[in-house]
Structure 1
Amino acid sequence: MELDYKRIVVTFLMHLGDVILTTPFLEVLRKAAPHSHITYVIDEKLQQVMEYNPNIDELIVVDKKGRHNSISGLNEVAREINAKGKTDIVINLHPNERTSYLAWKIHAPITTGMSHFLFRPFMTKYTRLDRKTRHAADMYINVLEQLGVTDTSNSGLHIEICEEWRCQAQEFYSSHGLTDTDILIGFNIGSAVPEKRWPAERFAHVADYFGRLGYKTVFFGGPMDLEMVQPVVEQMETKPIVATGKYLWPLS
């Protein structure tokens, strides 16, 4: 499938970790389509994660839990996308109902990627998920392989930030006594599914292990993660840096 010189829309409305796992996919897609306009459709709460990604030309945000949490809301998103120009290719990276419906509703000449079974008849080319033998990041890249992309080399997972954010982060760590020679180990222990969370005492044990070896530990996460982080910190014998809920980038 020819991907270059196209308007491509990638639909993906999953959580933080899942979004980061698509960064190698985007790098491979950009190499395969250097002259294409690539739009990434993302959960509104996570737009900053991809705001400075060099492989994306435009972000379209979806308020999944608010104004777009309905058929009419998703139709509004589709109209917004179509108002910016005719989409040539939609690549849907998750087979749930929401993203599958949105991918179909854009009505591009080519709709490919993954899909909920209800929308598979409307797909130009349905690509299966290889969950058994591939890492999640490679699983998304495999979608492009199924479309004929052969060069899948990439630099791995990454998040791009602006210089202002970088300076603010450096100031934050300096205020906690960190130097350039310190090795920092970060913990992001939140999960949208409670059953996937480790018990607090296990996180505390692992963080203490690294703390005793001389590493600096830091806990990340948003304000909603504080109730998970606090029990971990209370059970630790070493002292971590708690950035949870304290450091939010301003929306641009």
Structure 2
Amino acid sequence: MPDLPADLRHPAAHRPGHGDPEWSAMRRILVVRPDNVGDVLMTGPVFRALRAVAPHASLDLLASPGGTAAAALLPEVDDVVTASVSWQQLDLVPGADPDADLVEELTARDHDAAIVLTSFSQSPWPAAELARRAGIGVRVGTSKEFGGALLTHWVPAPPDEVHQVDRMLGLLAAVGVPSQGHTLHARVPLDTHVPAALDLARYAVVAPGASCPSRRWPAERFAAVVRGLADDGLTVAVTGTEREAELVAAVAGDVGLPVTGLELGDLAAVLADAEVVVANNSGGVHLADAVGAPVVELFAGTETVDQYRPRSTRAEVLTRPVSCSPCRQLVCPFDQECLEIGPDEVLAASRRLRRVGVA
């Protein structure tokens, strides 16, 4: 059998004759990332790069209801379009056009370009079709599979294991937008409300929640970490959403400070001054990464570590290799062997990372 050529990308991808868009001449650019808080925070380097090449353009973000709050922490984002897009929903009404109102709104906004950001397992083509219907002339995305001319600039997909930030910056570089660095960043609002018990205190933050059960390290092990950090002389804030109040209270026990229902900007302020943050693979880790807090991450096998690991701060990622990873399951069908990590290991990592030595 003859040797195959090194470049096996589809001949329609990055077609000759389709030059780079004229970014500096654009009035309005839409970045599409309708995912969760952590995914939006990882777009920070994308917006920084776009601002450098299009200093006068309005940079808008199409975000999910859950991801919208994170946009307020990205200083380069000018406006947000919040929508529950059809390709992120599990149930749709037959015969309905679930994106009709969104198409109408985007048409009125009159964007010059849409940049569709995806993970390795997502397709850009539904968003590209949405942008085409809205009359957006330049449509940029990356994909392995063929989708016709829905993308005007179809960039071949990088290897699956590439970090999400590098994946997004590589997409921009392919269409003439050079990187301004891959470090995450977040703007901590000036008018934040931080629990009074943390004022002037040396404290750690423990965040035991996650978006699904398969990503959650057991609560009793988190509770043991809280006790160990308290024994080190730290105030330990245990954070979570209002829906996680029962979990937060159980983990805090008699020694931790339960803190639930913080606005994302308030949580950013709390994390920014923490000596160390201990959390599952969740938006809290990416927020800690963006504000420079040292972080110990308990990483379940639902995803691949190298795609999401924190790189903007001092961090240790704790996990166990398993044959079923990445499973992307909401509930583990086994015994979470990927999170067979003891509290002593987590405490040791926390002590290595802390800004101030153990008391």
Once superposed, what is the RMSD of the aligned Cα atoms?
3.0
Corresponding residue of 2:24? 4
Shift of 1:215: 2.8
Overall identity of the aligned pairs, in %: 22
Determine the C-alpha separation between the residues in 2 that align with 1:73 and 1:3: 31
Are 2:177 and 1:162 equivalent residues in the alignment? no
Corresponding residue of 2:55? 34
1:36-75 aligned at under 5 Å gives the runs 36-63=57-84, 70=92, 72-75=97-100
2:34 to 4, 7, 13: 13
1:139 to 131, 152, 167: 167
Shift of 1:44: 1.8
Contact 1:187-1:218 at 8 Å conserved across structures: yes
Are 2:148 and 1:113 equivalent residues in the alignment? no
- Between structure 1 and structure 2, the one with the greater Rg is 2
TM-score by length of 1: 0.77
Contact 1:104-1:122 at 8 Å conserved across structures: yes
Secondary structure (helix, strand or coil) at the match of 1:141 reads helix
Q: Deviations over 1:58-106 (max 9, x none)?
A: 10011459xx975623221121011022x22111112677864233212
Q: Deviations over 1:126-158 (max 9, x none)?
A: 3324441x433333222212223334325x323
Contact 1:9-1:91 at 8 Å conserved across structures: yes
Corresponding residue of 1:124? 152
Determine the C-alpha separation between the residues in 2 that align with 1:208 and 1:131: 39
Shift of 1:241: 2.0
In structure 2, the CA distance between the partners of 1:199 and 1:26, relative to structure 1 (3 Å rule), is: same
Secondary structure (helix, strand or coil) at the match of 1:209 reads helix
Corresponding residue of 1:220? 239
In structure 2, the CA distance between the partners of 1:208 and 1:144, relative to structure 1 (3 Å rule), is: farther
How many residues were matched structurally? 233
Secondary structure (helix, strand or coil) at the match of 1:41 reads strand
Contact 1:75-1:102 at 8 Å conserved across structures: no
Aligned residue identity for 1:8? I
Determine the C-alpha separation between the residues in 2 that align with 1:51 and 1:184: 26
Shift of 1:42: 0.8
Determine the C-alpha separation between the residues in 1 that align with 2:166 and 2:209: 23
In structure 2, the CA distance between the partners of 1:19 and 1:213, relative to structure 1 (3 Å rule), is: same
Contact 1:203-1:232 at 8 Å conserved across structures: yes
In structure 2, the CA distance between the partners of 1:162 and 1:4, relative to structure 1 (3 Å rule), is: same
Secondary structure (helix, strand or coil) at the match of 2:97 reads helix
Corresponding residue of 1:94? 118
Determine the C-alpha separation between the residues in 2 that align with 1:204 and 1:137: 32
* Worse-matched range after superposition: 200-209 or 36-45: 200-209
Q: Which ranges in structure 1 are unaligned for 5 or more consecutive residues?
A: none
Corresponding residue of 2:105? 80
In structure 2, the CA distance between the partners of 1:115 and 1:230, relative to structure 1 (3 Å rule), is: farther
Contact 1:20-1:157 at 8 Å conserved across structures: yes
Secondary structure (helix, strand or coil) at the match of 1:220 reads strand
Q: Deviations over 1:31-79 (max 9, x none)?
A: 23212221101112332221253211110011459xx975623221121
* Worse-matched range after superposition: 94-103 or 192-201: 94-103
Determine the C-alpha separation between the residues in 1 that align with 2:146 and 2:82: 24
Contact 1:11-1:103 at 8 Å conserved across structures: no
Corresponding residue of 1:153? 181
Contact 1:13-1:99 at 8 Å conserved across structures: no
Determine the C-alpha separation between the residues in 1 that align with 2:147 and 2:202: 48
Shift of 1:163: 2.5
Determine the C-alpha separation between the residues in 1 that align with 2:221 and 2:211: 19
Secondary structure (helix, strand or coil) at the match of 1:126 reads strand
Contact 1:22-1:137 at 8 Å conserved across structures: yes
Shift of 1:216: 2.7
Determine the C-alpha separation between the residues in 1 that align with 2:250 and 2:53: 46
Q: Deviations over 1:190-233 (max 9, x none)?
A: 32232122121232233333332223322323222234434323
Are 2:171 and 1:190 equivalent residues in the alignment? no
Structure with the larger helix share:
1
In structure 2, the CA distance between the partners of 1:8 and 1:59, relative to structure 1 (3 Å rule), is: same
